[in-house]
A and B are shown apart, each in its own frame.
Chain A
Amino acid sequence: MNILSLFVLIPLLTIVGIVFTRNTKQTRLVSAVGMGIQLIMAGILIFMYLAERKAGNTAEMLFSFDALWFPTLNIHYSVGVDGISVAMIALTAIVVFAGIFASWTVDYLSKEFFISLILLASGVFGFFISLDLFTMFLFYELAVIPMYLLIGLWGSGPKEYSAMKLTLMLMAGSALLLVGLLGIYFNSAPGGGQLTFNIQEISKIQIPIEMQRFLFPFAFIGFGVLGALFPFHTWSPDGHASAPTAVSMLHAGVLMKLGGYGAFRVAIYLMPEAAHEQAWIFIILTSISVVYGAFGAIVQKDLKYINAYSSVSHCGLVLFAVLMMNQTAMNGAVIQMISHGLMTALFFALIGMIYGRTHTRMIQEMGGLMKVIPFLGVVYVIAGLASLGLPGLSGFVAEMTIFVGAFQHTDTFHRVVTIVATSSIVITAVYILRVVGILLLGPIKNDHYLQLTDAVWYEKLSTITLVISIAAIGLAPLWLSDMINVSLWPMVQRIAGNGLAGLL
């Protein structure tokens, strides 16, 4: 059994296990055990991956496995990982694990809830291990669709509207994506020969430039919708605000990363020439995402909306960095994906926990929470500081790398957009500190808050898992960025081999 296939199989087995449970308690237990195993597997995978690399294995993809599925169309079930995917798998495992504990109190149709949640996770895992565009697309859609039920059934507020909006916008995105992928497939053998969906094989050939010009926007926007690319981000605030805690965590923490990951692994990596030509359009759009998202977060009053807009801003930064197309910035993009995944998951977990106690998410109705629920308060501050890029936490490493990378471009256009994007750091500080000030400090506005109890064990487990990961990346970023760098090298070489050498 290939170790990577286990990452899809374990969630599916967990689902089967959940089907046979009899009550909420057992359901939770099975989910926690299943995702715990998944987390351990992710740890083992990192360990094995580093060991292989140390042993001198320089193959682009490790642990690869390939099985022919539809011979006529040359569709394979093909899996393999490099440093980037390993990092993303680890992120997913951590967030899902934390998500299970953050939804410990779900008791309405709990079986269905955990099944949908884990199904979503298996789609995400499958996406990250896929080397074949067909299976990648399959897992992508598999990850999106459980969202509808998760938000529609267990959400809050205008949940039916948000669920529908989110699902339809993401599916419309996948419509663009599908055209892009099919276009890549039918141009994957320009000199004749077998067409292929395999990313590695396509990366060895050059898709005709006029097709690239046509297909790149499809593929990039297709993934960009999920990565909250302006102006296709509008599903994100509504969706995140209405979703139940664990779903917001998974969605902002992991699912939106599918967009960033796909944008560079498929759109840019396979069509570098067109990417180079059209990058400026998307750089402008992502700069707008970054700044607009941050400004959006300032004016919001609902905690979840604040964090949703902040996600638009941070995910915009991922796409921004990817489009800079040099080693440093792309490295920063991957670290930013992981860093943002962890801290936004932490944020949403905390918001869920605070909401469970105060029954409101409006910041002006709350105040002085630090005095009554110090544990949650402190963790909230940590998440906030990570978000605004305090050195020592993951956010700093990511943003620093991105901006340094972006500033390596010497032309005016790149310099200007970089400066514009950098301003988001300041704006982020404004909204984070504002929330911390109103929410946690100051007088307690409501007597009923005096009776609030602090975090219980499963909430602590959930948040501490995430805090440790954030701190680990912040304090020791090099093992992660080395792992990513090695794998980025062939990609950057390919992009550089097409007239970008001067920018490296």
Chain B
Amino acid sequence: MRHELLLTALALVVLIIDLMLKPGQKNAIIPITIILFALHTIAGFLPAQPGELFGSMYRTDALHVMMKNILNVGVLIILLQSVTWLHKDENREKMAEYFIILLSTLIGMYFMISSGDFLMFYLGLELATVPMTALAAYRHHETKSAEAGIKLLLSSALSSGILLFGLSLVYGSTGSIYYNDVAASFSQTPMQVLAFIFFFAGMAFKISLVPFHLWTADVYEGSPVNVTSYLSVISKGAASFILIIILYIVFHSITFLWKDLVYIIAILTMTIGNLFALRQKNMKRFLAFSSIAQAGFILLGIIAGSKTGMTSVIYFVLVYIFSNLGAFGVVSAISNATGKENMDDYDGLYHTNPKLSLLMMLSVFSLAGIPPVAGFFGKFFLFTSAASAGYYWLVFIAVLNATISLYYYLLVVKAMFINKNEAPIASFKSDMATRIALIMCTLGLFAIGFWGQLYELINNLSIGILN
């Protein structure tokens, strides 16, 4: 419970400090929040006791703590990356809101991950989603941003409706919403199968799996870059975590059913995400579709249904945080400095901003799964876990998709390194916070893969499908 309490306190402290600051000193809220959050992140690594609360609506153990810590690291990087953008004049009035909303969605994710029944799960999910719409519409004076907010709100309301319907069927057929009770009495009656399908469809919206992905691109494009990276990395990561926990623990009696479903959706998600990403010219839309494809890869770990499978999913999300935030960090730095977000604008970037280009290259290579960066290990372990369950053809399709994705990732590399440009983006210097964030991403990209102990650590905490 320490994570939740600390973070709630933190959000309130930020609110109070913001009230006390004089109009001229509002900027001070930025370093204060980031330092407090960094302390919170560190505190998360202190040993914690496993336990239950509220009649096991809430439960926590080392696995949950690790998932929350992974999200913390990602959020810390995003906060650092937002500094330049928050300093802009148009955001000056509502800096505190940004932090408070962001932190409260994170609290929602904590509760969602630690949930022991579907009520807590749903509460956490809504807390994690609804405030996001405010963030997506943060620049409400801009049509695109407002549109993103509305789209996110409507699609999440719809998906929540679907999800809730599924949950109500679960309750109706098993008489309980507690994971343990549901898991014990869940079988394959048509109503329960229907319940599961509605549940899964709702979750598919949240993780933006095909065919429930259509909201993603517009929302990602319209939102501010940092919100986009938050949506595509942290939200997606948290939703994947809880999806795998629920599938393994609650729906273990219909494994054969959800495995087929996941198999098909994995292929669709990877392939369609890739095919759409091929044609994108806007960097944010491009990363949006590529992140859809990445979600398809995550399903490969889920389908394994084993301890290795969960390990590979958590490991991949960790790697994905660093790779995608590296890419988004560069996009954000460039967008802040020049306002340019199209791939054409990146032509010849290497000649003016070599460090940013190199980090971008490493990030997209990591997303594509090219050694020696961490993405190679992440993908390799996902494929290994899917192959361990005998899904060789699925692995083959996935690796082919990785090859397709390499094409569009190479287009970015091509733009930065090979394409000629009369007037490339001028050389610029980022501020300290952005640089720290980018250095963290670079270190992560190299360290995670080669640090074999990390994989062991995750593996020791992971669980397989209960029998």
User: Measuring CB to CB, which residues of chain A are less than 8 angstroms from any residue of chain B?
Assistant: 68-73, 75, 134, 137-139, 141-142, 145, 148-149, 152-153, 160, 164, 167-168, 171-172, 174-176, 178-179, 182-183, 185-186, 214, 218
Contact = CB atoms under 8 A, between A and B. Distances in A.
Interface in B444-467: 452, 455-456, 459
Given A153-B417, A179-B387, A179-B392, A70 B455 contact: yes
Interface stretch (B7-15, B240-248, B252-260, B397-405): B397-405
A72 B402 CA distance: 25
Nearest to B394: A179
A58 B371 CA distance: 35
19 contacts: A70-B452, A71-B452, A72-B456, A134-B380, A138-B371, A138-B372, A142-B372, A148-B410, A153-B418, A167-B406, A167-B410, A171-B402, A171-B403, A178-B399, A182-B387, A182-B392, A185-B387, A186-B387, A186-B390
A168 B417 contact: no
B402 to A, nearest CB: 7
B365 interface: yes
Interface in B392-426: 392, 395-396, 399-400, 402-403, 406-407, 410, 413-414, 417-418
B370 interface: yes
B396 A176 contact: yes
Given A168-B403, A179-B392, A183-B387, 14 more contacts: A137-B380, A138-B376, A141-B370, A148-B410, A148-B413, A160-B414, A168-B406, A172-B403, A176-B399, A178-B383, A178-B395, A179-B399, A182-B383, A182-B395
Nearest to B418: A152
Nearest to A214: B392
Interface string B296-310: 000000000000100
Given A72-B455, A72-B459, A141-B376, A182 B403 contact: no
Contacts of B414: 152, 160, 164
A148 B418 CA distance: 10
Contacts, number: 87
Contact of B407 (A168, A174, A214): A168
B410 A70 contact: no
A167 B452 CA distance: 29
B96 to A, nearest CB: 43
A90 B381 CA distance: 33
B413 A73 contact: no
Q: Give 9 closest A-B pairs by Cβ, nearest first.
A: A175-B399, A182-B387, A171-B403, A152-B418, A69-B452, A138-B371, A70-B452, A179-B396, A172-B403
Contact of A71 (B387, B406, B456): B456
B418 to A, nearest CB: 5
B390 to A, nearest CB: 8
B397 to A, nearest CB: 9
B180 interface: no
Nearest to A141: B371
B350 to A, nearest CB: 9
Contacts of B417: 149, 152-153
B388 interface: yes
B384 A164 contact: no
A182 B390 CA distance: 10
Interface string B26-63: 00000000000000000000000000000000000000
B278 to A, nearest CB: 12
A172 B392 contact: no
A126 to B, nearest CB: 10
A287 B84 CA distance: 62
Nearest to A143: B371
A172 B400 contact: yes
Contacts of A218: 396
Contacts of B381: 73
Interface size class on chain B is: 20 to 34
Interface centre among B388, B400, B410 (most CB of A within 10 A): B410
A366 B403 CA distance: 41
Given A69-B452, A167-B410, A175 B403 contact: yes
B399 A70 contact: no
Contacts of B418: 149, 152-153, 160
A75 B450 CA distance: 12
A255 to B, nearest CB: 16
B452 A164 contact: no
Contacts of B376: 138, 141
A168 B455 CA distance: 29
A71 B400 CA distance: 28
A183 B399 contact: no
A179 B371 contact: no
Contacts of B372: 138, 142
B402 A175 contact: yes
Nearest to B460: A72
Nearest to B390: A186
A293 B141 CA distance: 64
Contacts of A134: 380
A182 B371 contact: no
Nearest to A68: B452
Given A141-B376, A142-B371, A142-B372, A164 B407 contact: yes
A290 B251 CA distance: 56
Contacts of B365: 145
A75 B311 CA distance: 15
A250 to B, nearest CB: 18
Nearest to B361: A149
Given A142-B372, A179-B387, A186-B388, A72 B308 contact: yes
B395 A179 contact: yes
Contacts of B403: 168, 171-172, 175
Contacts of A73: 308, 381, 384, 455
Interface centre among A73, A167, A183 (most CB of B within 10 A): A73
Given A73-B384, A152-B417, A164-B407, A183 B392 contact: yes
B384 A182 contact: yes
A307 to B, nearest CB: 25
A148 B409 CA distance: 12
A138 B449 CA distance: 11
Contacts of B370: 141, 145
A141 B365 CA distance: 11
A339 B426 CA distance: 49
A162 to B, nearest CB: 12
B341 to A, nearest CB: 23
Given A70-B455, A178-B383, A171 B371 contact: no
A202 to B, nearest CB: 15
Interface centre among B311, B390, B417 (most CB of A within 10 A): B417
Contacts of B456: 70-72
Nearest to B449: A138
A69 B455 CA distance: 10
A359 to B, nearest CB: 21
Interface centre among A69, A152, A171 (most CB of B within 10 A): A171
A186 B456 CA distance: 19
Interface string B337-374: 00000000000000000000000000001000011100
Interface centre among B365, B383, B399, B456 (most CB of A within 10 A): B399
Nearest to B396: A179
Interface centre among B380, B396, B407 (most CB of A within 10 A): B380
Contacts of B413: 148-149
A204 to B, nearest CB: 22
A182 to B, nearest CB: 4
Nearest to A69: B452
Contacts of A179: 387, 392, 395-396, 399
Given A72-B459, A152-B418, A175 B396 contact: yes
Interface centre among A145, A160, A183 (most CB of B within 10 A): A145
A148 B417 CA distance: 11
Nearest to B462: A72
A146 B206 CA distance: 37
Nearest to A215: B392
